[in-house]
């Protein structure tokens, strides 16, 4: 195990999941083991992953079960924020959001309605997400409802779709949006072997997105196989130096464009666990931010996340 870098740096991890699936469990015991592995993790935010849905009742309200599931799994408040799922296209989305807020007992903060889609079946992992979701008039009607409810939006999409998010953010400048996983610059399927071209397109799109002051960025997701790095195929996984060398330039570029007050490091565990350990990942982030000032580090590792998700510290 690597030595923990800067162990006293306060951290809020704004992106992790919980699930209890056959042969794949990541619940509070596993989360506690990871967050207690050496870094100073003060709080976390749970992000929807289709866990604990209600098995009966109206279809639109079944995702409320996930918020109930998280509150029951971690009643103490270490998971200080919950981001759930609601189909924003549905006419009764206001009632669904109200039910999430009630079930969250003060911890519910927003919605992630995935729009990740690509024409290549080698990239597209599900057939349920339609192309062009963020521009759908019904979706935008629900997005307005989300904003009126005082909730935020987590955007999960692939890098060719970033302009769609920019258009949405400009149409609703009052709604706080955070882009997950640095906008997912793809490295699989037709994008494999074209990293330079992908990163050029990604930077161009991200530069436009950065002009939207209501958009923040999560710096992470770099252990996912769709990024094309293949660390998940090795038994030892990546070291913090390898992670920082591979993605440091892109993350520092994001920080320069968006500013530390709109950037937050994230673990994306247990998804990124396939490529590295929790302590290794946060070491990588600390390597990437090594030249930042103490105030900038406080923002990147803690304050931007707690501010965006309106967490009580």
pLDDT in tens, 191-227: 999 999 999 999 999 999 999 999 999 999 999 999 9
**DSSP for 25-88, written as a single string:** EE-HHHHHHHHTSSSEEEEEEEE--S-S--SSS-GGGTTHHHHHHHHHH-TTSSEEEEEE---T
Mean of per-residue pLDDT scores for the chain? 96
Alpha carbon distances (Å) from 282 to 5, 6, 13, 22, 266: 8, 10, 10, 28, 9
User: What are the structural domains of the chain?
Assistant: 10-308 (3.20.20.140)
CA atoms lying within 13 Å on the CB side of residue 62:
12
225-254 confidence digits (pLDDT tens):
999 999 999 988 999 999 999 999 999 999
Q: For residues 262 and 132, what is the distance between their CA atoms, to the nearest angstrom? A: 25
Evaluate if residue 27 carries a pLDDT over 80: yes
First to last CA, the chain: 30
* 0.85 exceeded by pTM: yes
Quickly state the pLDDT bin for 48 (edges 50, 70, 90). very high
Q: For residues 149 and 94, what is the distance between their CA atoms, to the nearest angstrom? A: 8
Q: Which residues pair with 178 in a beta bridge?
A: 154, 216
Mean pLDDT calculated for residue range 297-301: 98
Q: Are 188 and 136 in contact (CB under 8 A)?
A: no
Quickly state the pLDDT bin for 1 (edges 50, 70, 90). confident
């Amino acid at each position: 195990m690597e030595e923990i870098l800067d162990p006293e740096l306060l951290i809020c991890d704004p992106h992790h999941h919980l699930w209890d699936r056959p042969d794949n469990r990541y619940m509070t015991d596993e989360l506690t083991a990871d967050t207690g592995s050496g870094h100073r993790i003060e709080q976390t935010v749970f992000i929807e992953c289709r866990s604990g849905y209600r098995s009966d009742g109206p279809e639109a309200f079944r995702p409320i079960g996930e918020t109930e599931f998280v509150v029951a799994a971690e009643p103490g408040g270490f998971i200080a924020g919950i981001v759930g799922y609601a189909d924003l296209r549905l006419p009764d989305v206001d009632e669904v959001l109200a039910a999430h807020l009630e079930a969250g007992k003060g911890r519910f903060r927003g919605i992630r309605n995935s729009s990740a889609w690509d024409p290549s079946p080698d990239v597209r992992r599900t057939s349920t997400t339609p192309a062009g979701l963020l521009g759908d008039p019904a979706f935008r009607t629900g997005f307005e409802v989300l904003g009126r409810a005082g909730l935020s939006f987590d955007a999960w999409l692939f890098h060719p779709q970033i302009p769609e998010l920019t258009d949405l953010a400009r149409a609703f400048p009052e709604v706080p949006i955070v882009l997950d996983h640095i906008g997912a610059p793809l490295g699989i399927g037709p994008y494999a072997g074209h990293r330079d071209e992908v990163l050029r397109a990604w930077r161009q799109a991200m530069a436009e997105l950065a002009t939207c002051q209501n958009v923040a960025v999560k710096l992470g997701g770099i252990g996912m196989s769709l990024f094309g790095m293949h660390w998940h195929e090795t038994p030892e996984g990546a070291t913090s130096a390898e992670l920082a060398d591979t993605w440091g330039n892109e993350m520092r570029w994001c920080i320069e464009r968006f500013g530390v007050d709109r950037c937050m490091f994230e673990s994306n565990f247990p998804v990124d666990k396939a490529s590295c350990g929790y302590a290794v990942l946060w070491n990588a982030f600390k390597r990437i931010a090594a030249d930042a000032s103490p105030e900038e580090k406080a923002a990147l590792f803690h304050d931007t996340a707690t501010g965006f998700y309106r967490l009580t510290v």
